[in-house]
Amino acid sequence: MKLLAGLIASVALYGGVQSLHDGNGQSAVEQAGLSNSYRLTANGDEAACAIKRGAEVSDGLSLLTIAPNCSKLMPGIERVKFWREQADGSVAFSEKGIDPIVTFGVADGDGYESYAPAAPLLALNATTSD
């Protein structure tokens, strides 16, 4: 019985990983992360600012440049210095690499949507200029 339960869990895990992949073998997370330049918007407003992911410092941790006008969208975000890619595909912005100020999940299309903090709702979409 334990063998059957282990087999079912393995198949479920494999299926979950495969659901993140499209036909060319590239995951949705990898597709969203292809760009280094992003446009940050809050609550669907017209106001936006530029975000640029820089050089990778360590596994999953990259430098981050936030445009000065981003503080209008979310006060405190101007302190962010790091972009951390999580194993689940989420991205966390932090001041010191370990203390997330805002966390994004992969959204439909070419970007991310924030889920922590709950407000303001932020969208991070890849731009064509790198």
Are 51 and 71 in contact by the 8 Å Cβ rule? The answer is: no
Q: Residue 71 in 3-state DSSP?
A: helix
CA distance 36 to 110: 12
Q: Does domain 35-126 have CATH number 2.40.128?
A: yes
For residue 26, CA distances in Å to 6, 35, 43 come to 27, 14, 30
Expressed in angstroms, the distance from the first to the final Cα of the chain is: 54
44-84 pLDDT, tens per residue?
Answer: 777 899 999 999 999 999 999 999 999 999 999 999 999 99
Listed by start position, the domains of the chain span 1-32, 35-126
Percent of the chain with pLDDT over 90: 56
> Residue 129: which pLDDT band, with cuts at 50, 70 and 90?
low
What's the pLDDT band for 34 if we cut at 50, 70, 90? low
**Global pTM?**
0.69
Q: Which residues of 37-71 are buried (b: 16+ CB within 10 A; e: fewer)?
A: ebbbbbeeeeebbbbbbeeeeeeebbebebbeebe
Q: Which residue has the tokens 């503080």?
A: 71
Q: Which of 89, 106, 42 lies closest to 69, judged by CA?
A: 42
pLDDT, averaged across the chain: 78
Q: CA–CA separation, 53 vs 83, rounded Å? A: 7
pLDDT of the residue at 47: 84
